[in-house]
Structure 1
Amino acid sequence: MLGTLTQAPLAQAGDRYPAPATCPAALLGKATCYTGQDANGAYYAIGIPTAWNGSLVVHAHGGPDLGEGSDPERSVGDLDRWAVMVEEGYAWAGSSYRRGGYGTRMAAADTENLRRLFVSRFGDPRRTYVHGQSWGGDVAAKVVEVYGGKHGRYDGALLTSGVLAGGSRGYDYRVDLRVVYQYYCQNLPRPTEPQYPLWQGLRPASTLTTAGLRARLEECTGYASAPQERTALQQRNLDDILAVTGIPERTLESHLRFSVFTFRDIAHNRLGDRNPFSNAGVRYSGSHDDGALNAGVERFSADPAAVRDLSYDSDLTGRVSIPVLTMHAIDDPTAFVEHEAAYRATLRGAHRDGNLVQTFTREAEHSELSDSEYAASVSALNTWVRTGKKPTPRSIAASCEDFDRTYGTGCFHAPDYRPSSYASRVRPRPGGLTWPAMTAAKEKAWSHIEGVGIAP
């Protein structure tokens, strides 16, 4: 036990077997669907196509959602959203996780537990793939490393729009947003409210709602108003915040929401009020007065033990021994495409990048890309696993056209694209390690805490 951290166990006895359920509209007449709840309290949904190809896709959803318990509607909604997998002939299983809030290893354990439940009820699939979207990409990548060895339970992984830089560095741009926002806006907290260090995200006892947060953001920047309706100060505040942080205007509110509510969950609920974030020594630029900004912005340094525990929970080592295919929109406004550069560097540091193929699309979305592209990606992964022939970004792009004749959602692959380094998009923390060196450092730091993870 380290602070508030405990191992997230896999459930066995007490799991409730899947019960027949009505399929989402997109799958009516095409599949048989089931729902249930495992012994840890995680709700789940399963869809098995009428013409099942014998293989299974286990899905890890993004977020994290911040509700206290498991949401029974989440997995059903995800089955509807990822119906393309079932339409392609794969059985699909997705967990809502046992609770809301952060916890990558917890979510990975719930994902693996659902795979076991599927096997106990329906038998061993011919092949098993794990798919993760957004933060679920980090969860699925953790599943690969913890449960997917050469003789493990998974044959391949598809990571789409993934947050693949891990928790210890993957949210640095939101750390920067949190402090830059407060410098200009001074309303989170207001001078008349109880003060707290900004790495907490939000005071633990605060009753601020998402609507209240939006109101404060509007008050400071007029972000939801037409430009001609903003005051000069609002426009300058908005311009400075966007220029310094590199956050797209259309996702400013969602990034700020994460840096407030999810940071509180990480620091208070999961790490026992310890700080895993740092902006010490970061030089901010792009504002109308960089000197004043750097002199006035709040600074803090991370607690090394908190960094270690968050890193153990959510960072990746690159220990990958199965095929991994990724897909990411070049203009993803939420999980910047440079997360892919971080992931490649992690696998390269572990000498496992031969197991990785990365593809990129000319899209500007995060939560959902083209169904034709998802279908082409899972097909390419399946062929790679079956034949051992590694696909290329160009071969996947070419195959997408065939699937688009069915789905008609378009193919937007950019096979020659390569993202710049993570540090080119996210201001590096002075004294930070290169990604290969970080991989070695993680192995050393985690060597004595096996069996520990963020509290379930």
Structure 2
Amino acid sequence: MTSTRAAPRIACLAFFSVFGLSACGGGDDAPVLSGPATSIEAAPQRSTCPPALPADASCLTGTDSRGAHYLIAMPADWNRRLVLHAHGGPDLSAPTAERAVEDATRWAIMVKAGYAWAGSTFRQGGVEVRAAAEDTERLRGIFRQHVGRPALTILHGQSWGAGVAAKAAETYTAETVGEKPYDAVLLTAGVLAGGTRSYDFRTDLRVVYQYLCNNHPRPSEPSYALNLGLPAGTTMTQAQLATRVNECLGLNLTSAQRSAEQNAKIDTIVRVIKIPATQIQAHLNWGTFHFQDISGKRTGGASPFGNTGAVYSGSSDDAALNAGVLRYRADAAAYRQFSTDTDPTGRIPVPVLSAKWIADPTAFVELDSHFRSVMQQGGSGDRLVQTFTTAAQSHSYISDPTYPTLLSALVEWVEKGSKPTPAGIAAACPSFEAAFGTGCSFSPAYASPALESRVPARERP
């Protein structure tokens, strides 16, 4: 009769036998562990890999005990290193298994480079960083229990997921879980100033848009504080919001088709909020629906956002703009609650490497300056190396050779103690282009400006 204690190791051995691998974790010498990774989770099931992955890769899928779907991808010639992925977003709808497939497809380059890859959809929709960090750590446990112990684990956070990864790395450490869960952290296109600062400009967008357009809400509709996004219980679709925006700004038209007034209003938003015209709709969506999720579900009906004290500039009449926009003060309790959930502390005990497209229209490059300050204040400044690129396919993906370059630099840092430099990473990138295609554009001399140079400072609780 097989003991319950031995079951995870037997499942692991079966997995490695199927995939042609040779080592598993577990055993009588396993440390005493705690945290989400220790939860008893069902073994994942063999699954067809997304077509973007190498043809000889193998995949596992499953749903964890909290309802998060996940996908694990194994290259045929595994380098014994795991990339544990925290995706961007966040999604407001319930998670689906397809999201994990989409993420594995986007990050197929990591499997092509020889790394195992594992990504969770997170358990629920919504702007909740700690829960997503917990689900990510739980997936590490699933890999550990049912696949094996990698020689090195790199925690990768993309966009909003970079904040998730930072929170996971400071929360789950050797001291808190009984083993070193992550050897290094990779943050790409990161929303890295925490929720209390990263979203300020969306509050600014809401009030400037309302000053210019006065249709969100309309004068005929009940008024509400714009920093709530939408009041709890209020329903609106993205298509309905787009209709209002197009009524005022004509974003669905070419510049030549718009009226002079519409072009002038767009120009005001672009200059004051410092976002491209092509991003106005997306950020209004976030400032409407994500804000509603935050105030309605996370902070007890109050808003952690405010614009009291913010001075706007760049319009044709800044005095009139600053006098005319609606002003809100962040609720102190909501601010503290949201800060606890989303804001990094800078206490990450392992190497951290970040990459940001300088012109990223979604996660501004200035956010990285704030994160650098937080890491320094938290005592982890020496464990952070920041890199920047001059080109990218989009906010969601820089280029194929970029990521193997960054992962290789992290591996060297962890395994050999060779701390990378931006110049060294830039110099190394072209050597990866033969295998992964062109796309190196690191700018080693670049330093990100202060966040306040782009987003006006304001009063905070």
TM-score calculated relative to the size of structure 2? 0.89
Q: Does 1:92 align with 2:117?
A: yes
Q: Quote the offset at 1:363 in angstroms.
A: 1.6
Alignment match, 1:45: 71
In 1, Cα distance between the equivalents of 2:448 and 2:39? 46
Residue 83 of structure 2 aligns with an amino acid whose one-letter code is V
Q: What secondary structure is seen at the aligned counterpart in 2 of 1:92?
A: strand
In 2, Cα distance between the equivalents of 1:390 and 1:13? 35
Q: What secondary structure is seen at the aligned counterpart in 2 of 1:132?
A: strand
Q: Quote the offset at 1:28 in angstroms.
A: 4.4
- Counterpart among 36, 44, 52 of residue 10 in structure 1: 36
Q: What secondary structure is seen at the aligned counterpart in 2 of 1:306?
A: helix
Q: Does 1:34 align with 2:60?
A: yes
Percent identity between the aligned chains? 49
Check whether the contact 1:182–1:188 (CA below 8 A) recurs between aligned residues.
yes
- Counterpart among 331, 347, 367 of residue 339 in structure 1: 367
In 2, Cα distance between the equivalents of 1:431 and 1:11? 36
Check whether the contact 1:10–1:110 (CA below 8 A) recurs between aligned residues.
yes
Residue 421 of structure 1 aligns with an amino acid whose one-letter code is A
TM-score calculated relative to the size of structure 1? 0.90
Alignment match, 2:411: 382
In 2, Cα distance between the equivalents of 1:26 and 1:275? 41
Check whether the contact 2:37–2:139 (CA below 8 A) recurs between aligned residues.
no
RMSD across aligned C-alpha pairs, in angstroms?
1.4
In 2, Cα distance between the equivalents of 1:426 and 1:134? 18
Q: Quote the offset at 1:147 in angstroms.
A: 1.0
In 2, Cα distance between the equivalents of 1:408 and 1:232? 44
Alignment match, 2:395: 366
- Counterpart among 215, 231, 234 of residue 203 in structure 1: 231
Check whether the contact 1:324–1:357 (CA below 8 A) recurs between aligned residues.
yes
Q: Quote the offset at 1:297 in angstroms.
A: 0.8
In 2, Cα distance between the equivalents of 1:403 and 1:132? 22
Residue 387 of structure 1 aligns with an amino acid whose one-letter code is K
Inter-CA distance 200–83: structure 2 relative to 1 (3 Å threshold): same
Q: Does 1:400 align with 2:426?
A: no
Q: Quote the offset at 1:14 in angstroms.
A: 5.9
Q: Deviations over 1:408-431 (max 9, x none)?
A: 131000011001111111111146
Alignment match, 2:96: 71
Alignment match, 2:7: none
In 1, Cα distance between the equivalents of 2:274 and 2:55? 46
In 2, Cα distance between the equivalents of 1:287 and 1:255? 19
Q: Deviations over 1:185-228 (max 9, x none)?
A: 11110011122110111132222111111111111111221111
Residue 36 of structure 2 aligns with an amino acid whose one-letter code is L
Q: Does 1:155 align with 2:183?
A: yes
Q: Quote the offset at 1:288 in angstroms.
A: 1.8
Alignment match, 1:294: 322
Q: Quote the offset at 1:184 in angstroms.
A: 0.7
Inter-CA distance 431–31: structure 2 relative to 1 (3 Å threshold): closer
Q: Does 1:107 align with 2:132?
A: yes
- Counterpart among 141, 148, 167 of residue 116 in structure 1: 141
Q: Deviations over 1:327-359 (max 9, x none)?
A: 000000100001110111001112321101111
Q: Does 1:20 align with 2:46?
A: yes
Residue 31 of structure 1 aligns with an amino acid whose one-letter code is A
Greater gyration radius: 2
Q: Does 1:230 align with 2:267?
A: no
Aligned runs of 1:175-254 on 2, under 5 Å?
175-254=203-282
Q: Quote the offset at 1:30 in angstroms.
A: 2.6
Q: Does 1:263 align with 2:288?
A: no
Q: Deviations over 1:7-45 (max 9, x none)?
A: xx8375563321011011122423110110000000000
Check whether the contact 2:59–2:74 (CA below 8 A) recurs between aligned residues.
yes
In 1, Cα distance between the equivalents of 2:386 and 2:172? 22
Q: Quote the offset at 1:149 in angstroms.
A: 4.7
In 2, Cα distance between the equivalents of 1:233 and 1:57? 50
Check whether the contact 2:83–2:117 (CA below 8 A) recurs between aligned residues.
yes
Residue 265 of structure 2 aligns with an amino acid whose one-letter code is N
Q: Deviations over 1:87-129 (max 9, x none)?
A: 1111110000001111000000000000001100012111111
In 2, Cα distance between the equivalents of 1:190 and 1:14? 51
Check whether the contact 1:140–1:157 (CA below 8 A) recurs between aligned residues.
yes
Unaligned runs of 5+ in 2: 1-34
Residue 289 of structure 2 aligns with an amino acid whose one-letter code is F
In 2, Cα distance between the equivalents of 1:53 and 1:12? 25
Residue 108 of structure 1 aligns with an amino acid whose one-letter code is A
Q: Bigger CA drift: 305-314 or 19-28?
A: 19-28
Structure having greater relative contact order (Cα 8 Å, sep ≥ 6): 1
Residue 315 of structure 2 aligns with an amino acid whose one-letter code is S
Check whether the contact 2:189–2:355 (CA below 8 A) recurs between aligned residues.
yes
Q: What secondary structure is seen at the aligned counterpart in 2 of 1:25?
A: coil
In 2, Cα distance between the equivalents of 1:182 and 1:395? 47
In 2, Cα distance between the equivalents of 1:431 and 1:204? 24
- Counterpart among 51, 59, 80 of residue 85 in structure 2: 59
Residue 449 of structure 2 aligns with an amino acid whose one-letter code is S
In 1, Cα distance between the equivalents of 2:424 and 2:43? 40
Residue 253 of structure 2 aligns with an amino acid whose one-letter code is S
Aligned runs of 1:132-143 on 2, under 5 Å?
132-143=157-168
Q: What secondary structure is seen at the aligned counterpart in 1 of 2:52?
A: helix
Q: Does 1:410 align with 2:435?
A: no
Check whether the contact 1:52–1:91 (CA below 8 A) recurs between aligned residues.
yes
In 2, Cα distance between the equivalents of 1:359 and 1:30? 33
In 2, Cα distance between the equivalents of 1:81 and 1:38? 22
Alignment match, 2:343: 315
In 2, Cα distance between the equivalents of 1:24 and 1:415? 35
Q: What secondary structure is seen at the aligned counterpart in 1 of 2:62?
A: strand
How many residues align? The count is 423
